[in-house]
Structure formats: structure tokens, C-alpha cells
Structure 1
Amino acid sequence: MTSFSPGRLGLRAKFAVIAVAALLLGGVAVGYTLRSTPEPSTGPAVTSDGPERRTTGPGGPRLMVLSNGVRSSVALRDPAGPREVSSQRCERVYAAADTVACLAPAGALEGPKLLVSDRHARARESVRLTGIPNRLRVSASGRMVSWTVFVGGDSYAGSSFSTRTGILDTEGGLRLDTLEDFRITREGKPYRAADANYWGVTFAADDNRFYATLSTDGHRYLVEGDLAARTVRTLADNVECPSLSPDGDRIAFKQAVDGDPAKGWRPAVLDLATLETSRLAEHRSMDDQPVWLDDRTIAYALQRPDGVNDVWSVPADGSGAARLLVPQANSPAPVA
């Protein structure tokens, strides 16, 4: 039998072996990448490592959403059409002006994070969080970011939960990890309580005034906050997850049925001048912080019985009917 030694292999044969191995390894790598790239649930997609590339579908305003937990966007003129998909995974996403905020899920070796970038995916801020990411908002100017996490429990339906809400000023450097030190005025009187929980911040145009939910003593109040003064005051009861309209006159929110969150929530709109509430044409339970698509329409996510989310919209004046906007998506945020 003739023996074979690697040292006797000619140069041409060596290069042939290397070339074949490279082709095989390249094929494995490509196959892995294709299987690992997150896909949206419906419609064709464009995938990128950074911001969504506007290379498919109609132009104009877009709606940022999460598709299978991946930051994506659709054209508002064709919300069921092609989705442009990034590689960023989020539990919640929101964007305004030049700011994109993502509540990134916990990894194998680290907890969840708030990640703030610009529209070109250039990183600006990173904040480590403790808890289950839940709510996220960016002010219209893009300057202020607020987030909420569950630090005890994982649902607003009962009373045995606790939340922590923070605010980040991306320009001024301010970072508040909790609002629980703010002074409270409850129904016109100073108030202090150990059971105060805040969630669902929405910012006014001046980037100082904000609205949020304050839970205390069995009530869930809409509060108006003053960031510079570190104060909040109650405005109305049974108001959760507020969202300020673009004109600054109204609050869209979820309202507990008969004041009991265990019965579910319905979307409603509150007039800030009169504090009168209008129920909207959605009769299913809506456990979300709604967003305003414009001054006449709000959008929100609804969860199906199988756990899949869809984004719906409804007129903000109580007329019309709810309609499916983006199937198999959640966390909507309109972007220019």
C-alpha cells in the first residue's frame, strides 16, 4: 500500500482543497444567515443592519412597528404592504424627529436596556434596566425619552404589581430613573403615599410638561407633571396610559370597564379643557398606550386569543368603527 503524507501534496492540490473548503464554509454561513434573519409576518421585506431602507412600497409618512419583535416600518398609505425590517430586536419601540428608542430584551448574560439612536442607527444613549420592559415614549422634538418597566408582576389588571418609570433628556444630560420622588398634589391637596406607581408618560410640546398615570390608594389618576419643578397633580380618575394629541388639546387613553381593570379596558379620549371623556368605537379590551396617527385618528395594538398582536385604528371622535391597520404587529409609532 502506498503511504500518503501531507507534506508531499503539491501546491496546486493544496489550493484546490482550500478553495473547496472555503466554498463549503461559505455555503454554511449563507444558509445560517438566511435562516437567522428575522422576517415580518406578512408582505415582502427589505432587511438591513441599520435604519429601515425606503426602497420598497409607496413613499410618504411611515408607521414604525414591531414585527415578530423586530423593528420594522410600513407606509401609512399601504400599511398592509411591504415591510422594511431592521436587525434590531425590541420589546417596545418608539420614534420622533431624529430619535429612535428601543426597549431591548434581556440577553443570556445581561438584562434589558433602553437603546437610543438617531434615524441612521448611530448610537446615542444606552441605559441598563431592571424589570420587564413595558411602555416607551419619545417627545415630538426627539429630545425626551420615557420608559416604564414592571419590577413586580407583569400586568395592570390587578393590584399586585409595581412599576418604575424613568425619563432621559438626550440633550441636557438629565436622567431620572424613577418619578416616585416627585411631589404629588391630589385633588388640590398635598399627598404622600408609599404605594405610588407611575407609568405611560406622554410629553407636551415644551419638553417639560408631561402626563402620566399615577396609581395609588385604589385609584388610577391622570396626572400632569412638571419636570423642572419635580411635581405632579391629579386631573382625572380611571385614566391609564395617556397619549397627548398633536394639537395638545386631548388625551387618548385606556379606561377600565366600570372602573375595574379585571374587566378589561376600552379606548377613550379626554378633553383637557373640560375633562369630559368620549368613548371610542372599539368594544374589545385594549391593553396598550395608544398613539395619534394625526389629530383625528388613534392607533393601538390588540392581542388575539392565540397571543398574536395586530395594530388597529379608530376615529378619535367616537364615530366610525375600528379597522385593522397592520396585521401581526404591535408598538406602532408614526414617523415622517
Structure 2
Amino acid sequence: MPDPAPASPTRRTLAFGVVVLLCLTALATYLLVQRSRDAAAAEAAADREAATSRLQVEDVLEVPHLVVRNTAPGPSFGKVALIPLDDPTGPRAIVDVACDRISATPSGALCLQQVTGMLTTYRAVFLDEQLREVGAAEVGGVPSRARVSAGGSWGASTVFVSGHAYTDAQFSTETLITDLTTRTSLGNLETWTTVRDGEEITAVDRNYWGVSFIGDGPGFYATLGTGDRIFLVKGDVGTRTMEVVGTEGGCPSVSPDGRTVVYKEVDPESRNEHFVAAGLAEGDLDGRPAVPLGEGRLVDDQVAWLDDDTVLYAVGRGVSSSVDFDVWSSPVDGGAPTLLIPDAASPSVVIPEG
């Protein structure tokens, strides 16, 4: 029998077109179903939020309270929330300001914000004591850390210029310190002078992040990353200098009384990080062995302080750990951590003056 005649180009083109049409139809159907599910989920979250009891912002501002980033699903996701300190799991007030990171004091707050549009941009937003915007400045990338000194004189911001995590091989940061009185930037810490054992560090790969002020400054602690190692540095805003303090670790946070610094110590073998608390004397490490905190999970956060003996930090939850967070507390003496605030991140404790 003669071999069957090959399919004509026209038939092959028609068959290919049918396959493409079926694929496009399947994709369109999937997208419509997914869009419908997303809309239903958003509507359900909005309904739950509408039924949630809310406090008034002006009322909460008058009492000791927590300032957090709200991560509860719904229209207020990502906005600033105020929660009375004596009822951290109770109702909250919502401020109509969205922040990816926020640090607050009685005199105001520093909010790091992603602005989504045709082009995504990033801002450091300055808020007054009523958490109203009073100024803003562009920053160079994805928000990571924010911290305000105790008296509100200085603010520090860290963003990722490249990469999205400190574990990324090629991450690069921009860490700025700002005079909050004049809202004037003192520049990227990479332009300041850093010394180790009397020698200036000039490595081109150095990155800085996680500033924590000692009281209201001008002293501060921060993290220096260079090569495959990270170090604590102690700096001075007035002289724009920093010095490596000899401890391999990062993301320091100084207690309100200035007697303790909690940071992430690096295990020399596994290279994993875990929180430890070290003593300070006159702002310097006092040489006593650091005490491991009871938190055993890997936590990507810089702790804040509930009081002189207890730290706060956000922990991602479940499969949505990049968006769903809870705030946990942990005593610096090594006690067990406790869930303090559900559906929240980036906590600050604010005790109103007067």
C-alpha cells in the first residue's frame, strides 16, 4: 500500500491554531475562576473587618499603646494600627497610613512605604505625634528596617537596593540616618568611616543595616556585612564614624535603659543566627557572656522592646509567612516566648508624655 499522504501545511496550521485556541481558552477560564475566588476572598475579608470592633485613634494615642503594622486580612492590611498596651489581643484603631516598616515614639514615627503604580517607588514618610504625614523622602529600594531614637531626634532606615533578604547572595543595602528635627539625611552609612583594630575598612562589598540608637543618640549600634561575615559596629552620629566591636552578629537592639543589647549571634559552624542578650556598661559591651533567648525559630526581624527585660519581634505564620505575621514577646533571661499580638508586625511601644 502506498504511504499516506503527508498532512498539508494548511491542515497543520489549522491543527496548531486549534491547540492554541484550546490553551488560551483554558488559561482564560483559569484566570476568571481565580479572579472570582480572589474577589470572593477579598469580599469576605472586608465583611469580617466591617464586623470587627474598632477603637478611635485619638483615644488610643492618649494611653500607653503599641504601634504596629496591621497584617489582618482585609482593606486595612498594611496600615498602621494602634493597640492599648494593657489589651494587646483586643480591638485596635486603624490609621489611614500604609507602612511596610514603622518605628514610633511619643513625638512621631518613621514609616517606610512602597508606592505601587506604573513604576514602583519607595519612600521614608515622617509622621508627627498624631501620626499625620509631615514630610517624606525617597529611598532606594524595598523596606527592611526602621528605627527612631528614644526622644525622636534621629531616624534610621534600611532598604534593599538589590535582593530581598539578608540571605540573598548578592543583596545590597542602603542605610540612612536622618535628623528628624530638620528631616535632613546624613547620608548612607557606606560613606561614613568604619574602623576595625585601628584600620579603616574600605571593602567595596560592605553593607550596613539594623541601626539601634542608644537612648536618643548620638550613639548607636548597627550591623556591618562584608565578605561572608557580619559584625556589630558601634557608631556616633556626631562624628559619622563606626567601630567594629569584635562580635560576629547583627540586627542589634538596645534596651530603653541602655543596659542590654539583643542581637543575632552567628553560629560559627552552621552559620545559623539566634537571638542573644549581652550586657552594656556606659554604652559599651561589658564583656560578660551573652545569654541565648528562648526563641528557637529562625526569625527575620530586629527586635523592639516591650520593657527593659522583654523584647518583641514578628514571626511569619504558616504557608503565607511572607505576609501573615504575629508579634511575639520573649524575656531576655532566656524564658519561653509568648504570642502577644496576632496579625501584626513592626511593633513599637509608646508611652505618652505627661
Range class of TM-score, shorter chain: 0.7 to 0.9
What residue is the counterpart of 1:61 in the other structure?
A: 64
5+ residue gaps, structure 2, are 1-42, 72-77, 280-284
- Indicate which of 201, 204, 212 corresponds to 1:194: 204
Summarize deviations over 1:85-110 as a string: whole Å, max 9, x none: 11111100110131111111122155
Residue 148 of structure 1: CA displacement? 0.3
Map 1:80-229 to 2 at 5 A: 80-109=89-118, 111-172=121-182, 174-229=184-239
Let me know the Cα RMSD of the aligned residues: 2.5
Q: Is the 8 A contact 1:41 1:67 kept in 2?
A: no
Separation in structure 1 between the aligned mates of residue 275 and residue 82 of structure 2, nearest angstrom: 24
5+ residue gaps, structure 1, are 1-33
Q: 1:121 to 1:300 in 2, by over 3 A?
A: closer
Separation in structure 1 between the aligned mates of residue 222 and residue 204 of structure 2, nearest angstrom: 18
Separation in structure 2 between the aligned mates of residue 321 and residue 126 of structure 1, nearest angstrom: 39
Give the aligned residue type for 2:69. Answer: L
Alignment length, in residue pairs?
Answer: 294
2:345 equivalent to 1:330: yes
Summarize deviations over 1:6-52 as a string: whole Å, max 9, x none: xxxxxxxxxxxxxxxxxxxxxxxxxxxx99989869962236xxxx2
Q: 1:227 to 1:78 in 2, by over 3 A?
A: same
Separation in structure 1 between the aligned mates of residue 235 and residue 140 of structure 2, nearest angstrom: 24
SS in 1 for 2:58: coil
- Indicate which of 268, 278, 287 corresponds to 2:276: 268
Residue 305 of structure 1: CA displacement? 2.8
SS in 1 for 2:59: coil
Percent identical among aligned pairs is 35
Give the aligned residue type for 2:306. Answer: L
Summarize deviations over 1:149-196 as a string: whole Å, max 9, x none: 001111112432110100110224541231111111113433221111
Q: Is the 8 A contact 2:299 2:314 kept in 1?
A: yes
Q: Is the 8 A contact 2:150 2:216 kept in 1?
A: no
Give the aligned residue type for 1:269. Answer: A
Q: 1:103 to 1:260 in 2, by over 3 A?
A: farther
Give the aligned residue type for 2:308. Answer: D
Separation in structure 2 between the aligned mates of residue 84 and residue 39 of structure 1, nearest angstrom: 15
Summarize deviations over 1:204-245 as a string: whole Å, max 9, x none: 235211110001132211100112212110113332111111
Q: 1:279 to 1:227 in 2, by over 3 A?
A: same
Summarize deviations over 1:132-158 as a string: whole Å, max 9, x none: 011000000111111000011111124
Map 1:287-298 to 2 at 5 A: 287-298=300-311
Summarize deviations over 1:110-131 as a string: whole Å, max 9, x none: 5111110112234332111121
Give the aligned residue type for 2:226. Answer: T
Q: 1:187 to 1:89 in 2, by over 3 A?
A: same
Q: 1:224 to 1:53 in 2, by over 3 A?
A: same
Q: Is the 8 A contact 1:153 1:162 kept in 2?
A: yes
2:243 equivalent to 1:233: yes
Separation in structure 1 between the aligned mates of residue 50 and residue 331 of structure 2, nearest angstrom: 26
Separation in structure 1 between the aligned mates of residue 50 and residue 275 of structure 2, nearest angstrom: 26
Residue 324 of structure 1: CA displacement? 0.2
Q: What TM-score results when the alignment is normalised by the length of structure 1? A: 0.81
Separation in structure 2 between the aligned mates of residue 226 and residue 39 of structure 1, nearest angstrom: 48
Residue 258 of structure 1: CA displacement? 4.2
Separation in structure 1 between the aligned mates of residue 84 and residue 304 of structure 2, nearest angstrom: 16
Q: Is the 8 A contact 1:164 1:177 kept in 2?
A: no
More helix by share: 2
